Amino acid sequence: MDATALAANFENKLAKNENIEPKDWMPDNYRKHLIRQISQHAHSEVVGMLPEGNWITRAPSLRRKMVLLAKVQDEGGHGLYLYSAAETLGISREELLHQLLSGKAKYSSIFNYPTLSWADMGAIGWLVDGAAIMNQVMLQRTSYGPYARAMVRICKEESFHQRQGYEIMSVLAAGSPEQKAMAQDALNRFWWPTLMMFGPSDANSANSENAIKWKIKRESNDQLRQRFVNQTIPQAELIGLTIPDAQLKWNEAKQGYDFGEPDWEEFNQVIHGNGPCNKERLGARLKAHDDGKWVREAAAAYASKRKLVAA
């Protein structure tokens, strides 16, 4: 097939909502867009293990410790599926990790905020995983096959994560006045950074036009943010917590809430390396990479020995 026929074939598949698979022809910019998004997503999962990992030794009971351990382990697994999906686009795992460790690649802004109390584990599960699912349910139907299939399993696990977080918040909110205050404080600190997870408003989202055209994203940043707010307000009300937004108001005409504008200057600072914990998070990843050097070397030596034996 010549270039025009290949391009027509690609467009045709998109129009019929058929997945694009690794061996199919695809435009270079589609490939680049996917590598950027999937790798950022993978990095978010792996860096996302850090703020919660911080609380494993301090979980208030054995049950909470087991659940948190399982959750953090799930995030590592999500990172693995996503790195594998990105590799099918012709980039190596080493290169992807290099992009993260050198600070070239982004990861979700939310993980550059500190986790100061146990209630933050509840707020992260409820809000952060809740926002992640909102985005990822749509990505189950993304146009690139390996990414869409990875999302199906990830969404099942994220849904468990969201529920465990909400349960932590419900228990704290129904507890002593100090516990309720701790839950409210976590909600106050995580609310706005969670809204920023969906990315800049549509008018300022440089990548959205291509993402929608190529059916990588099927809904816009603002649409998903609005859906998240609509879903979360009644959940907060049910457990007696208050969303820290004076402009929050039900809008009958749009059948959704009006809400305030996140601080986009803060968002820009955070995604450009100047958030409260950027240096700490990257430092932890660099240390893990250095500490793991002997394991990678041993695995490589073992693999080449086996090759020799098999030959």
Q: Which residues bind ligand BYC (CB under 6 A)?
A: 36-37, 40-41, 44-45, 48, 75, 106, 108-109, 128-129, 132, 135, 196-200, 205-208, 211, 221, 271
Q: Which C-beta is closer to ligand BYC: that of 170 or that of 220?
A: 220
Rounded to a whole number of angstroms, the minimum distance from the CB of residue 303 to ligand BYC is 30
Rounded to a whole number of angstroms, the minimum distance from the CB of residue 192 to ligand BYC is 12
Q: Which C-beta is closer to ligand BYC: that of 126 or that of 259?
A: 126
Rounded to a whole number of angstroms, the minimum distance from the CB of residue 80 to ligand BYC is 13
Q: Which C-beta is closer to ligand BYC: that of 48 or that of 146?
A: 48
Q: Which C-beta is closer to ligand BYC: that of 22 or that of 76?
A: 76
Rounded to a whole number of angstroms, the minimum distance from the CB of residue 153 to ligand BYC is 13
How many Å apart are CA 21 and CA 41, to the nearest integer?
Answer: 19
Angle, alpha carbons 163-169-170 (nearest 5°) = 85
Rounded to a whole number of angstroms, the minimum distance from the CB of residue 184 to ligand BYC is 21
Q: Which C-beta is closer to ligand BYC: that of 180 or that of 186?
A: 186
Q: Which C-beta is closer to ligand BYC: that of 140 or that of 235?
A: 140
Q: Which C-beta is closer to ligand BYC: that of 145 or that of 179?
A: 145
CB 117 within 8 A of CB 182: yes
Rounded to a whole number of angstroms, the minimum distance from the CB of residue 283 to ligand BYC is 18
Which residue minimizes CB distance to ligand BYC? 48
Rounded to a whole number of angstroms, the minimum distance from the CB of residue 193 to ligand BYC is 9
